[in-house]
């Protein structure tokens, strides 16, 4: 369960927590605070808006500018953009022919399970490599011209190796502390989805289970925040499963000549 908070309300809650509870445990990888609760096994944490910089020595500088990149990747589709304090200053959308005919399965997933492919698959694999080279090329431009504080990313584990092993190098490593996995399912990446993801990341999110529900309500009321609605479609609990299975959102691209192509090792 969760409550999404507009940026101002999230700042209001953060100020209250800092004043009343002092230094809290900060999870840098997920950009969230772990909140104390009387029931030790209760889930209660507060995901911070992306425009709030990571704390220094336990203290938040709430007015500090934050520059960040949002990177959304699915098979054959990518949307990425550079943002300053929530404003999108540049973006790019890439599309590539890398999904197999009829099955709706990306070529990289097919090879992982079958080990063989037709000659037409060489085209898909070639475009797959170029797809990630183009992505990394644009990322390099952002890193060359701007200071990047955070990198918000949505990409399945199947595709991540292609991002990091591209001929055009990724300007950050897979262990970069600035990386933030976007904690919700992302639809086929286009510009509108990029902006919608940014709006989500600009909001705070109080996440809790049934045991933590009452405590979450108490914190919001104590901070003077009312009128928020539970939004089950935004729950973060199943987002990792969505990352694993992106096939439902993949566009199916195919070549009518694939049926007649010879099979060959790849």
Q: Output the average pLDDT for the chain.
A: 80
The percentage of residues in the chain with a pLDDT greater than 90, rounded to a whole number, is 53
Q: Is residue 235 scored above 50 in pLDDT?
A: no
Where residue 57 falls (left for φ over 0; alpha for ψ -120 to 50; beta otherwise) is left
pLDDT in tens, 65-120: 999 999 999 988 999 999 999 999 999 999 987 655 555 455 455 545 455 455 45
- CA 207 to the chain's CA centroid: 17
The 10s digit of each residue's pLDDT in 63-77 is: 789 999 999 999 889
Residue 117, beta-bridge partner list? 264
CA-wise closest residue to 96 among 166, 31, 148, 14:
166
Between residues 242 and 29, which one has the greater pLDDT?
Answer: 29
The structural domains of the chain, with segments of one domain joined by +, span 2-64+198-241
What is the phi-psi region of residue 178: left when phi exceeds 0, alpha when psi lies from -120 to 50, beta otherwise? alpha
Nearest by Cα to 151 from 72, 243, 47: 72
Task: Give the per-residue pLDDT at 106.
Answer: 54
Quick: pLDDT tens for 37-64: 766 666 899 999 999 988 876 677 777 8
Flag whether the pTM goes above 0.85.
Answer: no
């Amino acid at each position: 369960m969760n409550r999404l908070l507009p940026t101002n309300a999230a700042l209001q809650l953060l100020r209250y927590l800092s004043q009343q509870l002092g230094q809290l445990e900060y999870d840098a990888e997920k950009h969230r605070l772990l909140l104390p609760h009387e029931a030790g096994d209760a889930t209660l944490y507060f995901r911070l808006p992306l425009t709030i910089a990571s704390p220094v020595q336990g203290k938040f500088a709430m007015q500090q500018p934050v520059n960040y990149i949002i990177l959304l990747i699915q098979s054959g589709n990518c949307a990425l953009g550079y943002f300053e304090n929530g404003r999108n200053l540049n973006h790019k959308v890439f599309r590539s022919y890398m999904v197999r005919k009829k099955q709706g399965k990306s070529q990289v997933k097919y090879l992982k399970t079958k080990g063989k492919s037709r000659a037409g698959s060489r085209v898909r694999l070639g475009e797959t490599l170029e797809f990630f080279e183009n992505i990394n090329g644009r990322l390099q431009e952002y890193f060359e011209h701007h200071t990047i504080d955070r990198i918000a990313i949505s990409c399945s584990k199947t595709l991540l190796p292609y991002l990091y092993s591209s001929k055009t190098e990724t300007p950050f490593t897979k262990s970069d502390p600035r990386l933030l996995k976007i904690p919700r399912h992302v639809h086929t990446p286009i510009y509108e989805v990029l902006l919608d993801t940014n709006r989500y990341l600009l909001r705070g999110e109080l996440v809790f289970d049934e045991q933590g529900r009452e405590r979450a309500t108490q914190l919001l009321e104590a901070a003077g925040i009312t009128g928020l609605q539970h939004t089950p479609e935004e729950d973060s609990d199943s987002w990792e499963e969505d990352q694993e299975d992106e096939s439902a959102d993949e566009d199916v691209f195919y070549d009518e000549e694939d049926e007649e192509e010879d099979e060959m090792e790849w």
